[in-house]
Amino acid sequence: MQILLKNGILLTEDHVPKKMDLFIDDNIISQISERVGVESDYVINCENKIISPGFVNMHTHVAMTNMRTLLDDMPFSRFLDTGFKLDAVRTDEELYFGSKLGIAEMLRKGTTTFLDMYYGEDMVAKAAQEAGIRSYLGWSIVNKNQTTQKGDPLKNAEQFIQRFRGNDLVTPIPAPHGIYSCERDDLIASKDLADRYDLPYTIHLSENRREVYDIVKKEKKRPVEYLDALGFLSNRLIAAHTIYVTLNEIKIMGKNGLTAVNNPVSNMKLANGNFAPLVEMVQHGVNVTLGTDSAATGNSLDMLENAKLSSLLQKNYREEGSVLPPHQVIDFMTKNPWKVLGKNAGVLREGALADIVVVGGEVGQVPLRTDNAESILIYSSTGNDVEQTIVNGKLVYSEGKYSGLNIDEIRKKNEEIFDRYRSLINS
Ligand SMILES: [Zn+2]
């Protein structure tokens, strides 16, 4: 397929947006210039619209999307207990339709790649492939005595990796769940699994105070120091949340080339009481990225909502308006993820993978100019302003229509599933 994006304001790698045409041939950005003079199968008029690299949601649990609102407004411990209670009874079909619901929302709101953590990732992979979204699917590894999975989570993870290795759009990865749900041996074995298959791996880290206190009590070390001593850290590790980290821990993260994922909406909604210290992380060489967490915690899968809040929280807390300007936040959700995921993507450059979104400049976002386009995207836009989403050169979402998803069926199935869960919680 060929797609020609005409006359849009392109967000460039050097953060000097320009009015340009962009031509996609097969799955690659083939030409960017002021006027592309080739015939194309498909032309999108991007006048008064922003053309951005696709957003990368670096932390979510997409199969939980049909649990949205069921875990609202609970103390953290009750949230976990209720979530685990539902996890234990979910069927494959429920994971599959929950994933489709989440993927539909992500595509509609400009996410072209997501990184997931859950069990039953085969169902997520099936939904992702049908929808045409790019995905990194982390099979959750939890200690054998704590898991709701059938069989040994570590073996399940390895078998999942073997099943999907080499797939074009799906990359299977290990996902040790957290330092409170994995024992020392589970963590070491998870890292070993990632090493053997040369894969990124992901973990929840320092998400709440309790987790930090418990490990300090048990190991006499803070979470990052504990993982460093285990040999768990590397430049392939993607650590989600990392909100309770000291300056020493940030330095260790930077020295090991870690990627951190900031999830401000989820952290605030779960009342975790903090947010990742992004300014210090950048200063010390941590690769900063953004995520939504699940729709059961953050309630929406909107990267632009998380991008805006990521910037505003730091400005407000520091009483310093100059920190985290839009261009830096755009890198967090487009370019930086690919430093760890390792593909030529996340930038609008000839030869890069064609994962692209077109964002409309509607009333309220006027005037849209080349010199304010980044500000309009981060401070004035929401995911609902996304008009087209292109993944791997294919137009997978355009103005309410999906190429690979049947929205009516997804809605109907998920309403039934939601009602079943609601009665289970209330019983
Ligand atoms: Zn999470």
Q: Which CATH number do you get for residue 305?
A: 3.20.20.140
The domain boundary residue, chosen from 307, 341, 375: 341
User: 204 CA to middle of ligand 1, Å?
Assistant: 6
Query: What is the model's pLDDT at position 84?
Result: 83
User: Is residue 413 in a domain?
Assistant: no
Mean per-residue pLDDT for 366-391? Answer: 95
Find the 71 Cα to ligand 1 centroid distance in Å. Answer: 14
What tens digit of pLDDT does each residue of 190-211 get? Answer: 999 999 999 999 999 999 999 9
pLDDT for res 150 = 83
On the CB side of 175, how many CA atoms lie within 13 Å of its CA? 23
Q: Which DSSP string do the residues of 102-117 spell out, in sequence order? A: HHHHHHHTTEEEEEEE
The pLDDT value recorded for residue 361 is 65
Q: Are 10 and 25 found together in one domain?
A: yes
Structure tokens of 46?
């991007």
Beta-bridged to residue 134, according to DSSP, are: 113
| Residue 80 CA, ligand 1 centroid: distance in Å | 11
Domain stop point among 296, 313, 341: 341
Separation of CA 190 and ligand 1 centre (Å) = 17
CA of 61 to the centre of ligand 1 (A): 6
Q: Is residue 411 part of a domain?
A: no
C-alpha of residue 110 to centroid of ligand 1, in Å: 20
The tens digit of pLDDT for each residue in 285-314 reads 999 999 999 999 999 999 999 999 999 999
CATH number for the domain harbouring residue 382: 2.30.40.10
pLDDT digits (tens, 9 = 90+) for 202-256: 999 999 999 999 999 999 999 999 999 999 999 999 999 999 999 999 999 999 9
pLDDT, tens digit, 9 for 90 and up, residues 331-361: 999 999 999 999 999 999 999 999 999 999 6
Same domain, residue pair 337 and 239:
yes
Q: Could you give the CA distance from residue 110 to residue 211 in angstroms, rounded to a whole number? A: 33
Residue type, 177: H
pLDDT for position 422: 94
Cα(26) to centroid(ligand 1), Å: 34
| pLDDT for the residue numbered 364 | 62
- CA of 297 from ligand 1 middle (Å) equals 8
Q: What is the mean pLDDT of residues 357-375?
A: 86
Which residues have C-beta under 5 Å from ligand 1, the single-atom ion? 293
What is the mean pLDDT of the segment spanning 126-146?
95
Same domain, 102 and 38: no
Question: Same domain for 200 and 317?
Answer: yes
- Asked whether residue 313 falls in the same domain as residue 327, the answer is yes
6 and 98 fall within a common domain: no
Whether 184 and 154 share a structural domain: yes
Range of the domain at 77: 55-341
Instruction: Please give the distance, rounded to the nearest whole angstrom, from the Cα atom of residue 17 to the centre of ligand 1.
Output: 34
